[in-house]
Structure 1
Amino acid sequence: MAEWVAQWHAEHVRFSQLLDFLDAQVAELHEGEDPDLGAMCDVVSYLSEFGDRFHHPREDVAFARMVARDPALRLPVNRLLQEHRAIAFAGEQLVALLSEAMAEGVVLRSSIEASAALYLTYYRHHLATEERQIVPMAARLLTPQDWDAVARSNPSGSDPVAAAACNDAYRALRERMATRATTTP
């Protein structure tokens, strides 16, 4: 049980680190510099891929079990599920703008900045809500049998950034994050 709560929290910490990296790139864009658009795209793609393949399926099971134990959680859980869809949509829009800009299409910097700001705002709010309200509540409400169900929902495979056999983009992203972790106080 505690290991799942710790894993959930660790994933949120990693997501926040990636959002910090994305935020720094957006700041460069805002200041008229040349951010790494490819890295920005990789961050959003990773957050989407990992979320869809690993993180959200486990959350879905935990959320359903939490609502079964406390029906008053239906509204906040439904809101979180809606946020998953809003974040995915905002991410798709941001990736489309970044891809167009990388292909040397005409894309206003302000459009990328606004799209990224929306994505960052939604995602950070979502993580904060889960960390502040849902993860602690899951630790209290869910039984060992519930956490076994969460474990069974975990698809085979591994985190595409942490995996040794990840693709080149995710390997580069992992290396950027490791470098950032050693240079950030």
Structure 2
Amino acid sequence: MKPEAVQIIRDEHLAISAVLYSLRYLVKGMRKGNAPNFPLLRAILDYIVSYPDRWHHPKEDKYLFSAVQRRTREADGLIARLEREHSQGYPMVEDLKKQLIAFQGGDARAGEAFWDTAERYAEFEWDHLRTEEDALIPIAERVLTPEDWAEIAIAFRENDNPLFGIKPKDEAETLYQRILSLTPTPLGMGGAA
């Protein structure tokens, strides 16, 4: 039986992947001449900043990665790479935000830059998520104890930060639902004809 924490992490990865898919879908459409959906693009970037960068990745660093390193040194190089990727993602999103503002302001070159950066970011993040699931999680499943997994699950299940009164999962869910409500239904996927 898989530890609960593994399913939580995979579920979070799935939600992040769905948002990245929406971003890439929009970029492909804009490259074909579709009008930009700026409210949806802003919601996507807000989600990426508020959930993966502020809550998901730091918990992986603090709980999953450190637990693995307490149990084995075999993943040190892999964890160093994943931590480096966590820190590289944030500046890419900051660039995306700046490019989106310029694009919305009418700068056509900023639109091209936004599309290119968005596609690079989506690929970068998908590679990162796959590496965690295909390389790190199998090591973690092999070396971590039930107590380690319980601590990780508690951290990932936590909804509130009592110090700040923040409910990160509620905030992320609200943004995620906003993205879904703003995303056009792809042809063949249901919805109104």
TM-score range, shorter chain: 0.7 to 0.9
Moved over 4 A (4+): 176-180
What percentage of aligned pairs have identical amino acids? 26
- Equivalent residue, structure 2, for 1:127: 129
Amino acid of the residue matched to residue 117 of structure 1?
E
Backbone CA RMSD of aligned residues: 2.4
Q: Take 2:4 and 2:87, find their aligned partners in 1: how far apart are those partners?
A: 27
- Equivalent residue, structure 1, for 2:41: 40
SS of the residue 1:71 aligns to: coil
Stretch of structure 1 that moved more, 128-137 or 88-97: 128-137
Conserved 8 A contact 2:20-2:122: yes
Count of residues in correspondence between the two structures: 177
- Equivalent residue, structure 2, for 1:71: 73
- Equivalent residue, structure 2, for 1:28: 29
Amino acid of the residue matched to residue 189 of structure 2?
T
Conserved 8 A contact 2:53-2:90: no
Q: Take 2:178 and 2:6, find their aligned partners in 1: how far apart are those partners?
A: 28
Gaps of 5+ in 2: 161-166
Aligned ranges 1:93-108 → 2 under 5 Å: 93-102=95-104, 104-108=105-109
Aligned ranges 1:102-121 → 2 under 5 Å: 102=104, 104-108=105-109, 109-121=111-123
Conserved 8 A contact 1:12-1:127: yes
Q: Deviations over 1:37-90 (max 9, x none)?
A: 331222122122112343123211110110221112111101001101111111
CA shift for structure 1 position 32? 2.1
Conserved 8 A contact 2:43-2:178: no
Find out whether 1:7 has 2:8 as its counterpart.
yes
Q: TM-score, normalised by structure 2?
A: 0.80
Stretch of structure 1 that moved more, 68-77 or 37-46: 37-46
